[in-house]
């Protein structure tokens, strides 16, 4: 795949599917950056299963259905989207492209697709919300050791215009990503985790006004260990629900009992996720977890799934399994690394176009017609 025309300019139309961006993007990054984005935990089995599980789901398409008029538009937790998709949170977009999250947000806006901003982003939430002027932004959070910082970031996100908070609950400790250890992963000097800058008085985040320290260490576990907390429990979700007014989605669910407990505690949505295979290697593929969770939650909350989404037909499969929408991060990073804003826009265009065609070929003129019987024959 040659992503450039004769003049050397980036030509997004030369990419015919999302997967073609991957090798181009990684070739343009440093090895440390590409390994950081591509890595899974331990043997990377869950990372691999995520993709394979979607591929193995057969779609028993309906014949002789009038699909001449179709609509892919929907809303996810009140946020409009051009199709049932939201960009998943991923850290440090500036490792892939100089403009980082700004390029991602602009592309999302151009394609009418909302995005979830990682709290480990390399661009501030205020800047990202301004760049994503025509679509909604949600803010991903961890509950770390410093609870006051969680509320501060939630308040910043609300003030910036974010429409929801996404609480990640599958990282009481950081998973072991062996590629990062081998590379001695650390943040380049020109990139900061700006939403989590810490004050400098005592080195533990309780500091004087103005002074900020950066983040350093061999890998995320050392650099940002303070942002998570192994004592995290359901009482912390109760606490967060009681303290904020934005709707909360709980991300990192693979079990029915956890999904129901999250909704019972006041969560407005659950995101079936295994952190892209980057936490517990051996966790089930999200396509394997989704149906039972969606059935148990029913109409009480919005259900989104991420992990291994690579084609528009995967989004159709997700809806047939009961999700309201799907999400992905790595394909967005591939587009960003290969061609910046134009690359991300092309990735979103391809996914939406494939989804629309998959609807037609499966005999579905509306989203409501994407039902479980498509997977049963």
Hey, which residues are catalytic here? 275
Q: How many beta carbons lie within 10 A of that of residue 360, not counting itself?
A: 15
d(CA 330, CA 321): 22
CA distances from 201 to 89, 212, 266 (A): 30, 9, 36
Radius of gyration of the chain (CA): 20
d(CA 302, CA 325): 8
Structural contact between residues 267 and 248, judged by C-beta atoms closer than 8 angstroms? yes
Helix (H, G, I), strand (E, B) or coil at 213: strand
Task: Please give the backbone phi and psi of residue 167, each rounded to the nearest 5 degrees, phi first.
Answer: -90, 115
Helix (H, G, I), strand (E, B) or coil at 212: strand
Task: Please give the backbone phi and psi of residue 138, each rounded to the nearest 5 degrees, phi first.
Answer: -110, 155
d(CA 23, CA 224): 29
């Amino acid at each position: 795949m040659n992503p450039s025309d004769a003049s050397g300019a980036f030509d997004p139309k030369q990419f015919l599917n999302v997967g073609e961006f991957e090798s181009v993007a990684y070739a343009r990054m440093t090895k440390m950056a590409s390994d950081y984005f591509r890595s899974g935990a331990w043997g990377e089995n869950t990372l691999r299963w995520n993709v394979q599980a979607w591929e193995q789901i057969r779609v028993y398409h309906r014949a002789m259905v009038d699909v001449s008029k179709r609509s892919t538009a929907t809303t996810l937790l009140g946020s409009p989207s051009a199709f049932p998709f939201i960009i998943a949170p991923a850290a440090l977009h500036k490792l892939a492209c100089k403009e980082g999250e700004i390029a991602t947000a602009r592309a999302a806006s151009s394609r009418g697709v909302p995005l979830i901003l990682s709290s480990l982003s390399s661009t501030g939430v205020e800047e990202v919300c301004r760049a994503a002027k025509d679509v909604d932004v949600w803010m991903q959070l961890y509950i770390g050791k410093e609870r006051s910082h969680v509320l501060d970031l939630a308040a910043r996100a609300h003030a910036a215009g974010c429409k929801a908070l996404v609480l990640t609950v599958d990282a009481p400790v950081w998973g072991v990503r062996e590629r990062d250890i081998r590379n001695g992963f650390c943040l380049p000097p020109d990139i900061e985790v700006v939403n989590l800058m810490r004050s400098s008085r005592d080195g533990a985040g309780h500091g004087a006004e103005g002074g900020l320290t950066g983040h350093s260490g061999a890998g995320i576990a050392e650099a940002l260990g303070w942002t998570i907390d192994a004592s995290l429990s359901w009482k912390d979700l109760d606490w967060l629900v009681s303290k904020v007014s934005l709707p909360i989605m709980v991300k990192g669910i693979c079990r029915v009992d956890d999904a129901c407990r999250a909704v019972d505690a006041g969560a407005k949505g659950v995101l079936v996720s295994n952190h892209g295979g980057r936490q517990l290697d051996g966790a089930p593929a999200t396509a394997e977890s989704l149906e039972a969770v969606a059935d148990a939650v029913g109409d009480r909350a919005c259900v989104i799934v991420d992990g291994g989404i690579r084609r528009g037909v995967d989004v159709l499969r997700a809806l047939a399994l009961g999700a309201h929408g799907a999400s992905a991060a790595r394909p967005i990073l591939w587009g960003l690394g290969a061609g910046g804003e134009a690359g991300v826009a092309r990735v979103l265009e391809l996914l939406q176009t494939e989804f629309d065609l998959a609807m037609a070929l499966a005999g579905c003129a509306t989203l409501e017609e994407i039902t479980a019987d498509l997977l049963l024959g």
